[in-house]
Structure 1
Amino acid sequence: MAENSNIEWCHHTYNPWIGCSKVSPACDHCYAETQNNHRKWAEGWGPHAARKRTKTRSNLQKWDKKANELGVRYRVFCASLADIGDNHRSIDPIWRRQLVGDIRQYTNLDILLLTKRPQNIPTLYPDLMEDWPSNAWIGTTVENQVEADRRIPRLLKLPAPVRFASVEPLLGPVDLTSLPYGMPIGNAPSYQDALRGKIWMQEGSVT
């Protein structure tokens, strides 16, 4: 599936800004921080480093136009080098409003929003909560059972049409039975994992 991304479950990757802070064990070996240390996109990483606005917003229009021409839908992961639930003071509220506006405008794109801070979404994105667009998916990272128990209930309070869990990195057994798997595909007794596309799991399974 990947086209302009090294992530196999999406076609494209989009980062409205770059930078983040560690909040749980899943962050211990953050690839985004490692890449930033080498490529110097942002001045630093962590709570004392300012987030940096990117200049790739126009890609959304390009991808949306191509998807429309081909009669397909593109999955766009947002964000691989940040957390859309980050409430750092350096993130201009305009950036968030523009992100929501872009999601509403580019309807041929399914935007997969991922956060380790689902509890922050209602406060940071009130316009999203008022009228959640059908092409905005929302997911949270659940690297172990502690984080699954903490984050999944918060995720399920968000009115997105598709809500998913990312288990990367998987640091221990995780019970995902509290997370709906969606509609069954054909007569198969299993459900497709919305995030990884090719992975199939039995309903009520523990991974």
Structure 2
Amino acid sequence: MADSSDIEWTDATWNPVTGCTKISPGCDNCYAARFSERFRGTPGHPFETGFDLTLRPERLQQPLLWKRSRRIFVNSMSDLFHKGVPTPFIEQIFDTMEQAHWHQFQVLTKRSSLMRDFLRRRYTTRPAPDHLWFGVSVEDRLRLSRVRHLQAAPASVRFLSIEPLIGRIGALDLAGIHWVIVGGESGPRHRPMDPAWVREIRDQCLAAGVPFFFKQWGGFRPTQQGRTLDGRLWDEFPQPQQTWPALAAAE
């Protein structure tokens, strides 16, 4: 667990699971895999096994020890809903998040249908508590089914992380979405992001009244091209009064 984070939209990270496997083009240049694999084979290092999926039960209680409220990105080095993570272990992570109600937990996945199904089983008569935020990663228009899965989940706060944005998204259904993050890819093999793609998403958020957060343009280094869009920073967050609406559509 890191008491601070360089990720602009969170305060801290908590990784009760590390490691993952790639499932779509947005994973191709994964920063977490690149970082972890640097230490494969280093005796005693937390990433001695590189980016292999690893459960870390010794970290399960960590957020309960932090008394100051934080936004906490859950599994910044993994995907909580990876098929290799046992359901009972996910349940334990949720137990901790529910107990640590003074934090805001940001859970982000590409396995959107698995998250939807888990939330439906856990929250059968009410939405998840509003200090638990649930998001999906969407890198191009071919991944928009993840948005529909999120909309069908009983979450109080739903968000989209459109990063790395590697293709035009097009029309976005923002019903029941409370926050949108957009960012370009960084690293030695980063793919370019067209400013028109970003503006199209930003303008849809403005029209729908959805908070918009622009993280970075990307480049070899994350900060290489800055964070301003059309002469300003876009650092909007969900508002506390935004709550889960009933949605008719379900998949």
Bin the TM-score by the shorter chain. Answer: 0.7 to 0.9
Rounded to whole Å, the distance in 2 between the matches of 1:57 and 1:195 is 31
Rounded to whole Å, the distance in 2 between the matches of 1:176 and 1:153 is 13
SS for the counterpart of 1:96 is helix
* Aligned match of 1:71: none
* Aligned match of 2:26: 26
Instruction: State the TM-score, normalizing by the size of structure 1.
Output: 0.76
**Residues 96-105 or 131-140, more deviating:** 131-140
Seen in structure 2, the aligned counterparts of structure 1 residues 195 and 111 have a Cα distance that, compared at 3 Å, is farther
**Residues 26-35 or 130-139, more deviating:** 130-139
Higher-Rg member (1/2): 2
Q: Taking every aligned residue pair, what percent have the same amino acid on both sides?
A: 27
* Aligned match of 2:243: none
The runs of 5 or more residues in structure 1 that have no matched partner are 68-73, 201-207
Instruction: Give the CA deviation at 1:125.
Output: 5.2
Aligned 8 A contact 1:42 1:51 in 2: no
Count how many residue pairs are aligned between Structure 1 and Structure 2.
Answer: 182
Aligned 8 A contact 1:144 1:171 in 2: yes
SS for the counterpart of 1:13 is strand
* Aligned match of 1:134: 130
Matches within 5 A, 1:99-114: 99-114=93-108
Aligned 8 A contact 1:97 1:125 in 2: no
Aligned 8 A contact 2:13 2:75 in 1: yes
The runs of 5 or more residues in structure 2 that have no matched partner are 41-46, 180-205, 216-233, 238-251
Aligned 8 A contact 1:114 1:139 in 2: yes
Alignment RMSD, CA only? 2.8
Seen in structure 2, the aligned counterparts of structure 1 residues 24 and 53 have a Cα distance that, compared at 3 Å, is same
Which digits, 9 at most, give the CA deviation of each residue in 1:139-163, with x for residues without a partner? 0011001112x21111111111111
Rounded to whole Å, the distance in 2 between the matches of 1:171 and 1:195 is 15
Partner AA of 1:20 in structure 2: C
* Aligned match of 2:154: 159
SS for the counterpart of 1:165 is strand
Query: 148, 161, 170: which one pairs with 1:175?
Result: 170
* Aligned match of 1:98: 92
Aligned 8 A contact 1:18 1:52 in 2: yes
* Aligned match of 1:43: 49
* Aligned match of 1:53: 56
Instruction: State the TM-score, normalizing by the size of structure 2.
Output: 0.64
Rounded to whole Å, the distance in 1 between the matches of 2:92 and 2:98 is 10
Which digits, 9 at most, give the CA deviation of each residue in 1:80-129, with x for residues without a partner? 111012111xx333321111101110111111100001101244456533
Rounded to whole Å, the distance in 2 between the matches of 1:155 and 1:57 is 25
Aligned 8 A contact 1:60 1:106 in 2: yes
Query: 192, 198, 206: which one pairs with 2:211?
Result: 192
Rounded to whole Å, the distance in 2 between the matches of 1:182 and 1:125 is 17
